[in-house]
A and B are shown apart, each in its own frame.
Chain A
Amino acid sequence: EAGVTQFPSHSVIEKGQTVTLRCDPISGHDNLYWYRRVMGKEIKFLLHFVKESKQDESGMPNNRFLAERTGGTYSTLKVQPAELEDSGVYFCASSQENSGANVLTFGAGSRLTVL
């Protein structure tokens, strides 16, 4: 079974530029999550999709971040315009619907460096 895949693995951009991160969840997983870890801090929730709908986007830091999940398959997270404090590792995770234990399977992460 293919795992959660994320692209790119590492992106280096300048402040003010735009970056789009992509996540392909495990096939059949309705739940897709985006998390972020900035240097020295804990992994923080950004948002949660159930299929194509945003279930919870309370963790999105501001309106420079836009997440989409067209057709309920892969998801993109766009940062526009990027700021220095956006640097960190962006993890995507997926889980099956009705999984009571809600075990998350993570992708390898996309490391974003904003210069």
Chain B
Amino acid sequence: RKEVEQDPGPFNVPEGATVAFNCTYSNSASQSFFWYRQDCRKEPKLLMSVYSSGNEDGRFTAQLNRASQYISLLIRDSKLSDSATYLCVVNRGYQKVTFGTGTKLQVIP
């Protein structure tokens, strides 16, 4: 089993739709969690950190469920500019960071 698993997609959604991605992790000792965004042929960029209490940044909401070992990302009112690959990133501590394969989102007009 992979340490971090994501559905690769692609998720094709119309503008204005709400879309949710999940990511599961296998190591229960994992300490911190992030969503990164990667545009085609570009570097990954931090989208948001994920906290147990859940956190929201505009149209983006991230949640962490430690009991079930998954994190989620919800995007409301999708924009064309949201089209990208969303990477789930898990830090196991001692700065051991593992990436998921990424979930591709395509927002269509």
Contact = CB atoms under 8 A, between A and B. Distances in A.
B99 A42 contact: yes
A41 B43 contact: no
Interface of B: 4, 32, 34, 42-46, 49, 87, 89, 91, 95-102
Given A31-B95, A55-B95, A104-B89, 18 more contacts: A42-B99, A43-B44, A45-B96, A45-B98, A56-B96, A91-B43, A91-B44, A101-B49, A102-B32, A102-B91, A102-B95, A102-B97, A103-B34, A104-B44, A105-B46, A106-B45, A109-B42, A109-B43
A62 B79 CA distance: 43
Contacts, number: 48
Contacts of A35: 99
B47 to A, nearest CB: 11
B49 A103 contact: yes
Contacts of B87: 43
A105 B45 CA distance: 7
Contacts of A31: 95
